[in-house]
């Protein structure tokens, strides 16, 4: 009887899915989506080398940037914005290096946890919020450590405004509001540039109200 009960317990245990913490400690680190952090890190290093060798401006934004500037929630992927019109060239360079899993559809490039765009404008019914890697963004890029590499990252002002516009949309992302709050708590901002980015991105009153709720007062003129 004891042997039968133990066999049944072993059978049930074998069917129980391994936890993320077990996999992280005992096999390899994983994200919540199950992709190995080591795989994302390796691909990020390849993408970085490819882009910088080609002298193409680029910067990490979205959740991975919010991870660096705000609360350190797990990274499921790395979103990158590159110079407008450069995606096809990057895809060709990666594929020429033997990376056959690269997917490019003319608007974005996907490769195992790395997502590249050359236009991250936000479009909603009746309104467009322009976001491309312009000269002001390029001038404020920061070199920061991420997954074992020192990557270029959009400024906290650019990341915050992009997140707040998305959070104020009819269909906000799961973490947009949370990410914006984390960035606002941990960063100091150039209010003049914050206001300028709002203007360039066609941000509306909802974003201004949300900034005030976060304790960031952006007036008509910041001296």
Least confident of 17-31, 111-125, 151-165: 17-31
Does residue 32 have a pLDDT over 60?
no
Q: Specify the higher pLDDT residue, 136 or 168.
A: 136
Q: What is the pLDDT of residue 28?
A: 33
How much is the average pLDDT of 74-93? 96
How much is the average pLDDT of 187-197? 96
Assigned token pair, 45: 């290093």
How much is the average pLDDT of 108-133? 95
Q: What is the pLDDT of residue 38?
A: 84
Does residue 65 have a pLDDT over 80?
yes
Does residue 84 have a pLDDT over 60?
yes
Secondary-structure percent of the chain, ordered helix, strand, coil, rounded to 5: 45, 15, 35
- pLDDT band at residue 173 using 50, 70 and 90 as cut-offs: confident
**Location of structure tokens 């909802």:** 206
Mean pLDDT over each residue of the chain, to the nearest integer:
85
3-class DSSP state of 81: strand
Task: Point out which residues pair with 58 in neighbouring strands.
Answer: 82
Residues 90 and 50: beta-carbon distance below 8 Å = yes
Q: What is the pLDDT of residue 169?
A: 85
Q: What is the pLDDT of residue 35?
A: 59
Q: What is the pLDDT of residue 37?
A: 81
Q: What is the pLDDT of residue 26?
A: 28
- pLDDT band at residue 220 using 50, 70 and 90 as cut-offs: low
Q: What is the pLDDT of residue 171?
A: 81
Domains in the chain: ranges and CATH: 36-213 (3.30.460.40)
Measured between alpha carbons, how far is 156 from 97 in angstroms, rounded to an integer? 33
Cβ neighbour number for residue 37 with a 10 Å cutoff: 18
H/E element, 80 = strand 78-82
Q: What is the DSSP string of 147-187?
A: TTEEEEE--HHHHHHHHHHHHTSSS--TTHHHHHHHHHHH-
Does residue 160 have a pLDDT over 80?
yes
pTM, 2 dp:
0.82
How much is the average pLDDT of 133-146? 97
């Amino acid at each position: 009887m004891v042997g039968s009960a133990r066999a049944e317990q072993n059978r049930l245990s074998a069917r129980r899915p391994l936890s993320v913490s077990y996999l992280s400690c005992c096999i390899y680190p994983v994200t919540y989506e199950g992709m190995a952090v080591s795989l994302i890190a390796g691909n990020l290093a390849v993408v970085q080398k490819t882009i910088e060798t080609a002298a193409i401006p680029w910067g990490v934004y979205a959740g991975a940037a919010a991870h660096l500037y705000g609360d350190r929630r797990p990274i499921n992927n790395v979103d990158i914005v590159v110079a407008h019109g450069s995606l096809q060239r990057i895809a060709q360079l990666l594929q020429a290096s033997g990376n056959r899993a690269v997917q490019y559809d003319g608007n974005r490039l996907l490769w195992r946890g790395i997502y590249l765009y050359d236009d991250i404008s936000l479009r909603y019914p009746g309104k467009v919020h322009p976001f491309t890697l312009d000269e002001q963004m390029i001038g404020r890029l920061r070199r920061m450590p991420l997954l074992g590499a020192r990557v270029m990252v959009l400024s906290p002002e650019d990341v915050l405004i992009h997140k707040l516009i998305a959070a104020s949309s009819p269909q906000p992302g799961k973490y947009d509001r949370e990410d914006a709050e984390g960035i606002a708590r941990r960063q100091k901002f150039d209010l003049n540039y914050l206001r300028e980015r709002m203007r360039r991105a066609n941000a509306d009153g909802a974003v201004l109200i949300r900034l005030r709720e976060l304790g960031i007062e952006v007036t008509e003129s910041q001296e």
